[in-house]
Amino acid sequence: MPSSEPVLLAPDPKTDATWWRQAVVYQVYPRSFADTNGDGVGDIPGVTSRIGYLAELGVDAIWLSPFYPSALADGGYDVDDYRDVAPELGTLTDFDALVGAAHAVGIKIVVDIVPNHTSDRHVWFREALASAPGSAARNRYVFRDGQGPDGSLPPSDWTSHFGGPAWTRLVDADGTPGQWYLHLFAPEQPDLNWDNPEVHEEFKTTLRFWADRGVDGYRVDVAHALAKDLSEPLRSKPETPGVLPTDGSDPLFDRDAVHEIYAEWRAVFEEYDPPRTAVAEAFSAPERRALYARPTGLGQAFNFDLLKADFDATEFREVVEFCLAQAATVGSSSTWVLSNHDVVRHATRYGLPAGTDLDAWLMTDGRGTVLDEAQGLRRARAAVMFMLALPGSAYLYQGEELGLPEVADLAAEVLQDPIWLRTLHTKKGRDGSRVPLPWTAEGESYGFGSGSSWLPQPAGWSDAAVDRQVGDDASTLELYRSALRTRRALQTEETLDWVETGRPDVVHFVRPGGWHCVTTFGTEPYALPAGVVRVASAPVVDGQLPGEASAWLTDWPQD
């Protein structure tokens, strides 16, 4: 079979091993989803209490962002204990109840694995701090002496993703300065040393721990950073930040050796029936992304190309062609994402002029550039229908089904993202996408909980509340429900054909069986081809799809 052809795995009803290939995965950011005990923080029982909502929405799986014990130096991506639930979020028994409730309605559970770094409160790091340089305990992390006669210069020029140096110097018990340790993120997130076999064993134990509790898959955080070149002298960071080489020669990221780790993990996944699945969060040169998605590796990899694209016909189409071809080279299915907990929500992005510097815009509390909220929502609705019609799996971020915008005007005092601190208050960071959900139009914290919420919700979120949208056919929630229901009914092989529209701003593709998706990226209406309109992001009148809208049509009569 030529490598550009998608390799379809035959579905096996016994093991259901291919469920992930075209799944809709809903990302829950647990602290912001639903709070059952009124402490202002979303919790695991809160997710369980909303399983009915998620089943009605029609998702196939839930990906839970970290719910592990954590001091929240990075929203939970600083993990104290990989095999427990944060006490403020619940217990392992609560977790088991969540898995049971989800599985009972056919929803899979995916957990977040954070293997690049632990938190600085992890028992291993505490042990490392209490142990001497060169000890086995320190060798689980990356400790080095500093440069210069007194060791006061960091061991290399590597920088933290959140700003500042990637090295922090210890102060020994007697008050004298000690060694430095590596943290590609916040200082509270020391990087693990994946040259150490003990680290490999520890994570395999963690993978089995969750698989044994019924977890169906894993989302792997910073999957491209584990295998570092730590040989002496440490190499300098590359000249061009953000552009990774295509030959795996970067000292830190996307090195070939990282795939040896995932081959070991694959063996663990295959111990289970059905095999556990995984999706890599890997930032690499685009053409190397598929390496993470090999069936001998994690099996699937995120691409953020659609998320980064402007709402533009040419960009969207190019992204789709590239990503489908890439995934097919390794027999995986492509992933699609418009929003997550790390980026400005797409209903807001699409309402700002293309090319807006989003970090700078957030610093103006959303007042710097005029935001066209109505346009943002219109385009968001069109874009999600485009995405949901594509072959592959779609990742939704909690609240996007309500059309939630970014909360751009969070006050400095409430910001919790380490980016705010580490950039010396020059970037606000990601909190504006993490504001707790509005469930009811009335009541304390819009039904998020019985008290306040850990990040303040904006006034006027009533209109976005779930109870306002349910039953309103024009609402974004009902659009998602109907699109997910229809997607399930029309789901088909993992291919598409492009259909010429004669308009550069209109994209039309058709899936096997005659499932058509037409999207107008410009503002002009477009006369739809013949067919039955199954779902539309805006009213279709006299066969005309308005501008900035999507419609799904089928060739055959609606039953």
The residues carrying an active-site annotation are 221, 271
Q: Which stretch binds Ca ion (CB under 5 A): 39-47, 315-323, 333-341, 413-421?
A: 39-47
Tell me the site size for ligand NOJ, rule CB under 6 A: 10
User: Between 27 and 453, whose beta carbon lies closer to ligand NOJ?
Assistant: 27
Q: Assess 356 for contact with Ca ion (CB under 5 A).
A: no
| Rounded distance between C-alpha atoms, residue 15 and residue 20, angstroms | 12
DSSP three-state, residue 251 = coil
Minimum separation from the CB atom of position 42 to ligand NOJ (A): 16
Contact 443, 394 (CB under 8 A): no
Q: Assess 77 for contact with ligand NOJ (CB under 6 A).
A: yes
| Rounded distance between C-alpha atoms, residue 310 and residue 439, angstroms | 30
What does 74 bind: Ca ion, ligand NOJ, none (CB cut-off 5 to 8 Å by kind)?
Answer: ligand NOJ
Burial of 230 (0-12, 13-18, 19+ CB in 10 A): middle
Q: Which stretch binds Ca ion (CB under 5 A): 41-49, 63-71, 418-426, 487-495?
A: 41-49
Q: Assess 74 for contact with ligand NOJ (CB under 6 A).
A: yes
Torsion angle, alpha carbons of 375, 376, 378, 384, to 10: 160
- Find the binder of Ca ion among 24, 25, 41, 290 (CB under 5 A): 41
Contact 279, 303 (CB under 8 A): no
Alpha helices in 493-551 (DSSP H): none
Calculate the CA 147 to chain-centre distance. Answer: 37
Tell me, what DSSP letter sits at residue 555? S
Torsion angle, alpha carbons of 127, 133, 137, 139, to 10: 140
User: Between 27 and 348, whose beta carbon lies closer to ligand NOJ?
Assistant: 27
Cross-strand partners of 379: none
Handedness of CA 123, 125, 126, 132 (dihedral sign): positive
Tell me the site size for Ca ion, rule CB under 5 A: 5
User: Between 43 and 221, whose beta carbon lies closer to ligand NOJ?
Assistant: 221
Q: Assess 406 for contact with ligand NOJ (CB under 6 A).
A: no
User: Between 44 and 383, whose beta carbon lies closer to Ca ion?
Assistant: 44
What does 405 bind: Ca ion, ligand NOJ, none (CB cut-off 5 to 8 Å by kind)?
Answer: none
Joined tokens for residue 281: 């969060």
Calculate the CA 366 to chain-centre distance. Answer: 24
Minimum separation from the CB atom of position 417 to ligand NOJ (A): 8
Q: Assess 252 for contact with ligand NOJ (CB under 6 A).
A: no
User: Between 326 and 453, whose beta carbon lies closer to Ca ion?
Assistant: 453
Closest-CB residue for ligand NOJ?
Answer: 77
Interface contacts to ligand NOJ, rule CB under 6 A: 74-75, 77, 114, 185, 221-222, 281, 341-342
Binding site for Ca ion (CB under 5 A): 35, 37, 39, 41, 43
